[in-house]
Structure 1
């Protein structure tokens, strides 16, 4: 798919991300990477399953990224990130997802339908997100698709991850420029230790990772003091830990070293840090790339290649297999990965072999006007969740959250 943002649209996107209004942890990852403030003058092109003729608009609203797409001639689903040049090789064409049904998620009693999904546990039993009672965001959990209010303190609260035992983590603004990290356990929220912190992910052992004062951090338990993660030699490193596997492997993004651009890193269970292999986008080495999520040794992230002389920016989703060292890049923006290595983004699910399926939309909505963000997928692939709105305004209240139930 192709994204083109003109100069005015790019500036608008930047203002939405970096303006005076508080923003929660949900703005830190993909949306900020896409905007990448020092390149707001560029046109952004995103190539992928919809082909070069599709037009996609990426907008950050209240901390979330909206994608609108008009499907065109299919393009390759995935390309080798190890190729040094040339066009992507042909891959499987997208097909309609078989055995998947879609439904809108209910919101708590007395609330309107406006809602987003921002994370889940590995089984799909718990989906976390927020609704908008009286127009203000408030955190909510869907347990077996039934909504439950779990209001977090602070402004612009965001839940980001969950365990299968019903422990949730997230962040909120507790001062104009100050964030706090939170964990929900035993029916109540508790603030994690550490100043100006954000919690991004939690594993089944309740080890939490995120950010403390602009640097990647880990909490060994919900009551522990934060441990700052190692950075490469040199000064000035900043970044975030964004995902943690069950064996304690952590992934995230660091910036501030040579070149200053963000790059993906992995911390082993022993705390050692190393950079993840550099992906390619359109056959060219990525100018910048990050790591977003990790599951059972599979990692998905975001990468960009900037054409020289103020040319367009091309976006792709690298997928690393830490067990084998394999690396491939799928054109487009994909934000979630499961234990099978399947990645999900917009309406597409792409397996490690490049096989792609396209999820159905709710009745009455058309792909040419639907703006979809799919952000969670269960380990067995049976539960996928996200949120959508429409460019033509055919949804009265936007966005709405949806869930896809698929055959295992």
Structure 2
């Protein structure tokens, strides 16, 4: 798995929140989850005030320290290199957006703290992990909002990273290095590849991820959960890379990074060709990088990164493979995390936000039973845009696993 460009900043959060919540049993640090939480918590605060300015500190790949600010984007006329979606004269108008959304806490068999780490395209399956008293950190499987399975693997800090519509999940644990495994019908099976991280599985059972030490791997594809991993081709000069998501047609989304460079988006297409994702032009300036988040039905969502001196700015996009063009997401859409087959985008802001193809944004309801300020992280979005999985992180450290259902 390629080290995310913001991982150094995320380490600070990792050292605080998970450790503070584990008074019983030996000290444990869920590195990958805590770093992701830290990045997303910081992102949600950028959007809490619309155009907030946030000071950040990150360690560059070359080893230096860079201070920069994330600034809410202005809204001038977009450059011609970025497409603005227009209604089709032949297609029926899509729904205005999700309606009558309700949020519920997922059952956790008594555990007060839990995460939702992934879900399937149908909206039936969600997976995660609970934090009961003691050292155990079992993974959990929900179907239609009901807890249907719990389990553990060898090693520590097990995490299910994705599940498909057939209920087959993939994940990893540390034993002591990172080790891949699959789960189906109550059975956990080690996957081939040695030190490796599977990150996504499609309904055909094809798995993608990376082999090698955590954050220092190379992108791979497993043809099935029982197959050996095949290395994916990368551009000359690539030092690290990872495959992060896979579409139903076999198109793979990921990132590659050259030596002393941060990662940027890369595509392995279903026809066998490959290409680096183009860099969008934002307000007349070509971006430095593009960080993709997810792919579905030929649509990629993510954010552009533009470095200028000691500042760094972000803009949020939907990218269509069939046209090769970017569409800038509207104000209030949040940092894109997932995309549905209908083209809707699920973003993280003050609360989860759904953005339709027409740019209509709908903020999902907060979980009213949670106390104090909550940050909301999302990890699953159904193909019809009606089911969302995620969790809330509050000041009381008791993460709440949540499911939103809409009409």
* Local SS of the residue matching 2:226: coil
Residues 132-172 of structure 1, C-alpha deviations (whole Å, 9 max, x = no match): 12254321111111112132332111111111111001111
Alignment pair present for 1:351 and 2:359: no
| Partner secondary structure for residue 260 of structure 1 | coil
Quick one: distance in 2 between partners of 1:208 and 1:121? Answer: 14
- In the other structure, the counterpart of 2:199 is 200
Q: Please report how far the alpha carbon of residue 385 of structure 1 lies from its aligned counterpart in structure 2 after TM superposition.
A: 1.4
2 CA distance for matches of 1:344 and 1:299?
A: 12
1:374 maps to 2:373: no
Root mean square deviation, CA, Å: 3.7
Residue correspondence of structure 1 range 94-243 to structure 2 within 5 A: 98-108=99-109, 111-135=110-134, 136-147=136-147, 148-175=149-176, 178-213=177-212, 214-234=217-237, 236-243=238-245
Whole-Å Cα distance in 2 between the matches of residues 328 and 129 of structure 1? 32
Work out the CA distance in 1 between the residues paired with 2:162 and 2:121. Answer: 9
Inter-partner Cα distance in structure 1 for 2:80 and 2:47: 18
Question: Equivalents in 1 of 2:32, 2:388: separation in Å?
Answer: 21
Alignment of 1:7-406 (within 5 A): 12-13=12-13, 23=30, 26=33, 48=47, 50-53=49-52, 98-108=99-109, 111-135=110-134, 136-147=136-147, 148-175=149-176, 178-213=177-212, 214-234=217-237, 236-256=238-258, 260-280=261-281, 284-308=285-309, 310-311=310-311, 313-330=312-329, 332-346=334-348, 347-363=352-368, 369-391=373-395, 393=396, 398-406=398-406
Shift of 1:248: 0.7
SS in 2 for 1:12: helix
SS at match of 1:335: strand
Partner Cα distance (2:79, 2:39) in 1 = 23
* Paired residues, number: 354
Q: Which residue of 1 aligns with 2:90?
A: none
SS in 1 for 2:133: helix
- CA distance in 1 between counterparts of 2:131 and 2:191 reads 25
1-structure distance, mates of 2:141, 2:75: 33
- Do 1:386 and 1:401's aligned partners in 2 also have CA atoms closer than 8 Å? yes
Please give the TM-score of this superposition, normalised by the length of structure 1: 0.76
Separation in structure 2 between the aligned mates of residue 11 and residue 168 of structure 1, nearest angstrom = 27
Residue 157 of structure 1 contacts residue 173 of structure 1 at CA under 8 Å; is this kept in 2?
yes
Structure 1 residues 77 and 336 mapped into 2: Cα distance closer, same or farther (>3 Å)? Answer: farther
Contact 1:182 1:190 (8 Å CA) reproduced:
yes
Instruction: Answer with 23-32 or 203-212: which moved more.
Output: 23-32
Structure 1 residues 338 and 254, CA gap change in structure 2 (3 angstroms): same
Which SS does the other structure have where 1:134 is aligned? coil
- Please list every run of 5 or more consecutive structure 2 residues that lacks an aligned counterpart in the other structure: 1-7, 20-26, 58-71, 85-95
CA distance in structure 1 between the aligned counterparts of 2:107 and 2:278, rounded to whole angstroms: 41
- After superposition, the C-alpha distances for 1:334-375 in whole angstroms (9 at most, x for unaligned) are 211110121212321112322101111122559x92211122
- TM-score (normalised: structure 2): 0.76
Structure-2 separation of matches of 1:77 and 1:161: 36
CA drift of 1:303 comes to: 3.1
Q: C-alpha distance in 1, partners of 2:276/2:374?
A: 37
Query: How far, CA to CA, are the matches of 2:272 and 2:79 in structure 1?
Result: 27
Contact 1:128 1:141 in 2 (8 A): yes
User: CA offsets per residue over residues 224-259 of structure 1, 9 Å max, x none?
Assistant: 11000001133x4311001111111101000016x7
The range that moved more, 278-287 or 123-132, is: 278-287
Gaps of 5+ in 1: 1-7, 36-43, 59-73, 89-94
